[in-house]
Amino acid sequence: MTRILKVAAAQLGPIHLAEGRAQVVERLIAMLHQADASGCRLVVFPELALTTFFPRYWMEDPAEIDAFFETAMPNPATQPLFDAAARLGIGFYLGYAELTEENGTPRHFNTSILVDGAGAIIGKYRKVHLPGHAHRIPDVAFQHLEKRYFEVGDLGFPVWRAFGGVMGMCICNDRRWPETFRVMALQGAEMVVLGYNTPTTNIHHDEPLHLRMFHHRLCMQAAAYQNGMWVVGSAKAGKEDGHGLYGGSCIVAPTGEIVAQAMTEGDEVVTYTCDLDLGNYIKEVIFNFAAHRRIEHYGLITEQTGVVPPEDA
Ligand code: CDV
C-alpha cells in the first residue's frame, strides 16, 4: 500500500518589527486554509514564524529581548491557529522563540513544534546548531545574535510517528549539517520538516546571493538523497525593515530532486503529494545503513568538534 502525504511549505513574506502576533497569526491561518483547500494534511511554517528575525538586533534590556519569546504554546495569540488547524483537521510545524523556566532559571530556545490534525502538540525540537555570535560586531548592517539570545537545544533530534510516517524536525542552520539528518534517518525518519530565516547577505564574507541559494538547496538535496527521505524547507523571506531574507522554500524528494518550490518572496503556499515509500529503494540498496555503514571508522565525528591536522613531518 502506498503511503501518501500531501504537504505544504508555507513560506512567509517579511514580518516587520511593528507587526504584532495577531496579524501574523491571521496570515498563518490564511495559508492553512489554502493548504487545506488543496488537500494538504501537513503545513510547514518557517523558523521564528511569529516575529521579525530579531537576532539581527543588538539588545541589552532583558524585557525587550523576552518580548520576542513565547512563554506558553499555545497562548492567547496563537490559539486561533491551533483552533483553525483542529477545525480543518490539518497538522503543522511552527517555529518560535521559547522562554521556559527550569528550577527558577529562565531558559531561551529557538524551538519548533509538530502539531497533529487534532490541534495537539505531538513533538518539540530545540535548535542545536546555533549560528552567528554572542558579541556585538561593529560596523555591519545587521547582527546575527542567535548565540546571545538562545541556548543550544537540549532535546537531541527525536522523530515521531505521525501523518502516516516517521517525521523529524530541525531548524534553519541545522540543515547545513549532515549529522542532523543522519541521526534522524537512523531512527527511521521518512520526512524532515524545517523552517529558516537566511539573510541575503553574509556579514563575514562577500558572497553572491546565487551562491547562498545554491548552498541552501545543495544541503537539503544531499540530505534527502543520502538518507532516502523527504525534506521540506520553509522560508521567512523578503525585506524585514530593509533587511533581506531569501526565499527558496522547497520540497525535496528522497531522490534529491526539488519537486516544488516557491516563486516569490512573499506569503506563498508550495505543495506536493509525497509518497512516503519513495525512499525505500534508496534505503534498501545504496544507503542500506545496516549493510554498509562502517561505524568503526566514524569515531572522530562524535569524539572531536574542531579540525586536528597531522603534525608537520
Ligand atoms: N537562522 C539561521 O540559522 N540562519 C543561518 C544563517 C546565519 C547562515 C542559516 O544557516 O541559514
> Do residues 199 and 160 touch, judged by C-beta distance below 8 A?
no
The one-character DSSP state at 236 is B
User: Do β-strands 243-245 and 268-275 pair in parallel, antiparallel, or remain unpaired?
Assistant: unpaired
Give the separation between CA 159 and CA 171, rounded to whole angstroms: 14
Residue in 57, 146, 173 to alter for ligand 1 test, most ligand atoms within 8 A of Cβ: 173
Identify the residue whose cell numbers are 527558496.
248
**Nearest residue to 35 (alpha-carbon basis) of 103, 91, 104:** 91
pLDDT at residue 1 in the model: 62
Residue 107: CB atoms within 10 A of its CB come to 14
- Residue 197 alpha carbon, nearest atom of ligand 1: 1
Residue 292: CB atoms within 10 A of its CB come to 9
**Nearest residue to 14 (alpha-carbon basis) of 255, 253, 264, 303:** 264
pLDDT at residue 189 in the model: 98
pLDDT at residue 45 in the model: 99
pLDDT at residue 76 in the model: 98
Catalytic residue among 70, 98, 127, 283: 127
Q: What is the CA radius of gyration of the chain?
A: 19
pLDDT at residue 180 in the model: 98
Which protein residue's CA is at the shortest distance from atom 11 of ligand 1?
198
Give the separation between CA 93 and CA 191, rounded to whole angstroms: 12
In short, whether 53's Cβ falls inside 6 Å of ligand 1 is: no
- Provide the residue type at 95 as one letter: G
Domain boundaries, the chain: 4-303
pLDDT at residue 294 in the model: 98
pLDDT at residue 2 in the model: 77
The one-character DSSP state at 255 is T
Task: Domain 4-303: give its CATH superfamily.
Answer: Carbon-nitrogen hydrolase (3.60.110.10)
Instruction: Determine the distance separating the centroid of ligand 1 and the alpha carbon of 96, expressed in angstroms.
Output: 15
Which protein residue's CA is at the shortest distance from atom 3 of ligand 1?
173
pLDDT at residue 313 in the model: 83
Task: Report the C-alpha dihedral over residues 183, 184, 186, 190, rounded to 10 degrees.
Answer: -150
In a structure prediction context, what are the per-residue pLDDT tens digits for the chain, which is 313 residues long? 679 999 999 999 999 999 999 999 999 999 999 999 999 999 999 999 999 999 999 999 999 999 999 999 999 999 999 999 999 999 999 999 999 999 999 999 999 999 999 999 999 999 999 999 999 999 999 999 999 999 999 999 999 999 999 999 999 999 999 999 999 999 999 999 999 999 999 988 999 999 999 999 999 999 999 999 999 999 999 999 999 999 999 999 999 999 999 999 999 999 999 999 999 999 999 999 999 999 999 999 999 999 999 999 8
> Do residues 225 and 255 touch, judged by C-beta distance below 8 A?
yes
Give the separation between CA 49 and CA 45, rounded to whole angstroms: 7
Is there a catalytic annotation at residue 127? yes
The DSSP code sequence of 38-67 is TT-SEEE--TTTTS--GGGS----HHHHHT
Assess whether the previous peptide bond of 74 is cis (omega < 30° from 0): yes
